[in-house]
């Protein structure tokens, strides 16, 4: 029961924040004629924000120290990135959730109560309903964009990218509800998933940087190539340990690049189309992947 509770809360602390930000990025990308899409994005953002708020309320003392220290829940830059993004987009963001997330305490050795399991189960069921809704919404947007019936400031690949992340989140919650844990073989598959995600981050960063940021564009290209090579090697790899070590080394360097990117965008030293919260968002995902790699 303890494993079920901790894994569920850790999952939501990371992914519910990711989902609410996906909704915000979608909302920010629509033009005025697409008010219905903007309203639906805002509704989903508020629903995932409320879910995250409830998770934070019950998570202190319930989650592992490795997760809290990883920088995947919040970073030192998240609060400022939220403030700047709220000002730039005029989209509301509940920054109090971030402040409270910064103060979460790690898991104690005590057994968790049946009441806590009941609360977590209710949150899991609620997240499943919300995830199915946002997945359907993202699929609809992607279909409309690819058939040239809808314009958005977001790349079609980015919409597909955030759709895959929502489906991964859903698969983990459903597995927790079915088995009470996330089975090791599914955890191992995450390395392939996140290598692709990291590669696409580099492609998005390259495409959203101002053309004059030549050095940063070249570095983003190098990371995209590095992860593409990792994906190719994975098809023929005999020794998964060597591949994991290479992914760990590459992602550690990538984390440093993304950290510099967040500070540069927050301080208005990098010319780009990248929202401050998007820069922090991709850093948190790199932090999450690093924790996975270090635990393998």
Q: Which pLDDT score is estimated for 248?
A: 95
Q: Are the C-beta atoms of residues 262 and 77 closer than 8 Å to each other?
A: yes
Q: Is residue 110 very low, low, confident or very high in pLDDT (cuts 50, 70, 90)?
A: low
- Is 70 exceeded by the pLDDT of residue 111? no
Query: Tokens 């970073």, residue?
Result: 75
- What mean pLDDT do residues 122-140 have? 98
Q: Are residues 244 and 153 in the same domain?
A: no
Indicate the SS3 state at residue 270.
Answer: coil
Q: Are residues 96 and 217 in the same domain?
A: no
- 35 exposure class (CB count in 10 Å sphere: 0-12, 13-18, 19+): exposed
153, 223, 291 from 109: Cα distances, Å: 48, 41, 22
Q: Are residues 66 and 102 in the same domain?
A: yes
Q: What is the pLDDT of residues 42-80, one digit of tens each?
A: 999 999 999 999 999 999 999 999 999 999 999 999 999
For the chain, what percent of residues have pLDDT higher than 70?
A: 95
Query: Tokens 């390395």, residue?
Result: 191
Q: What is the pLDDT of residues 8-35, one digit of tens each?
A: 999 999 999 999 999 999 999 999 899 9
CATH number, domain containing residue 241: 1.20.1260.120
Q: Which pLDDT score is estimated for 185?
A: 65
- Is 80 exceeded by the pLDDT of residue 240? no
Q: Are residues 144 and 291 in the same domain?
A: no
Q: Are residues 50 and 157 in the same domain?
A: yes
Q: Are residues 175 and 207 in the same domain?
A: no
Q: Which pLDDT score is estimated for 159?
A: 98
Q: Which pLDDT score is estimated for 244?
A: 86
Q: Which pLDDT score is estimated for 1?
A: 61
Q: Which pLDDT score is estimated for 108?
A: 74
Task: Out of 163, 182, 201, pick the residue that ends a domain.
Answer: 182
Q: Which pLDDT score is estimated for 235?
A: 77
Q: Are residues 146 and 206 in the same domain?
A: no
Q: Which pLDDT score is estimated for 64?
A: 93
Q: Which pLDDT score is estimated for 182?
A: 86
- Is 70 exceeded by the pLDDT of residue 283? yes
Higher pLDDT, residue 244 or 20: 20
Q: Which pLDDT score is estimated for 105?
A: 92
Q: How many domains does the chain divide into?
A: 2
- Is 60 exceeded by the pLDDT of residue 117? yes
Task: Out of 182, 208, 228, pick the residue that ends a domain.
Answer: 182
Q: What is the pLDDT of residues 174-186, one digit of tens each?
A: 999 999 988 776 6
Q: Which pLDDT score is estimated for 242?
A: 66
Q: Which pLDDT score is estimated for 183?
A: 78
- What mean pLDDT do residues 229-245 have? 78
Q: CA angle, corner 13, sides to 10 and 17, nearest 5?
A: 150
- Is 60 exceeded by the pLDDT of residue 187? no
Q: What is the pLDDT of residues 254-273, one digit of tens each?
A: 999 999 999 999 999 999 99
Q: Are residues 14 and 105 in the same domain?
A: yes
Q: For residue 212, what are the domain limits?
A: 183-296
- 11 exposure class (CB count in 10 Å sphere: 0-12, 13-18, 19+): buried
Q: Which pLDDT score is estimated for 253?
A: 98
**Dihedral of the alpha carbons of 183, 185, 187, 193, in degrees to the nearest 10:** -140
Average pLDDT over the chain, rounded to an integer: 94
Task: Out of 182, 200, 224, pick the residue that ends a domain.
Answer: 182
Q: Are residues 153 and 217 in the same domain?
A: no
Q: Are residues 158 and 66 in the same domain?
A: yes
Q: Which pLDDT score is estimated for 95?
A: 98
- 207 exposure class (CB count in 10 Å sphere: 0-12, 13-18, 19+): middle
Q: Which pLDDT score is estimated for 189?
A: 77
Q: Are residues 176 and 192 in the same domain?
A: no
- What mean pLDDT do residues 151-179 have? 97
Q: Which pLDDT score is estimated for 241?
A: 63
Q: Are residues 144 and 88 in the same domain?
A: yes
Alpha helices by DSSP H, listed for the chain, are 2-29, 35-59, 65-70, 78-89, 95-101, 114-146, 156-179, 184-208, 214-236, 240-266, 276-295
């Amino acid at each position: 029961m303890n494993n079920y509770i901790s894994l569920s809360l850790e999952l939501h602390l990371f992914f519910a924040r990711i989902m609410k930000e996906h909704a915000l990025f979608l909302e920010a990308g629509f033009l005025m004629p697409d008010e219905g899409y903007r309203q639906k994005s805002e509704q989903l953002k508020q629903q995932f924000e409320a879910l995250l708020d409830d998770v934070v309320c019950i998570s202190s003392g319930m989650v592992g120290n490795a997760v809290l220290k990883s920088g995947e829940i919040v970073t030192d830059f998240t609060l400022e990135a939220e403030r700047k993004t709220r000002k730039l987009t005029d989209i509301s963001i509940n920054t109090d959730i971030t402040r409270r997330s910064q103060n979460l305490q790690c898991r104690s050795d005590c057994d968790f109560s049946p009441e806590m399991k009941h609360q977590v189960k209710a949150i899991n069921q609620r997240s499943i309903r919300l995830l199915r809704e946002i997945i359907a919404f993202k699929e609809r947007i992607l279909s409309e964009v690819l058939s040239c019936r809808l314009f958005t400031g977001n790349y079609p690949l980015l919409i597909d990218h955030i759709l895959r992340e929502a489906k991964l989140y859903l698969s983990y919650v459903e597995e927790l509800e079915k088995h009470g844990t996330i089975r090791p073989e599914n955890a191992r598959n995450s390395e392939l998933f996140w290598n692709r995600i990291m590669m696409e981050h580099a492609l998005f960063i390259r495409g959203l940087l101002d053309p004059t940021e030549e050095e940063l564009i070249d570095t983003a290209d190098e990371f995209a190539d590095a992860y593409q090579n990792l994906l190719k090697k994975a098809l023929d790899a005999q020794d998964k340990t060597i591949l994991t070590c290479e992914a760990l080394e590459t992602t550690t360097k990538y984390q440093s690049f993304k950290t510099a990117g967040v500070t540069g965008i927050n301080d208005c030293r990098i010319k780009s189309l990248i929202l401050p919260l998007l820069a922090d968002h991709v850093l948190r995902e790199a932090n999450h992947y690093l924790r996975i790699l270090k635990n393998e």
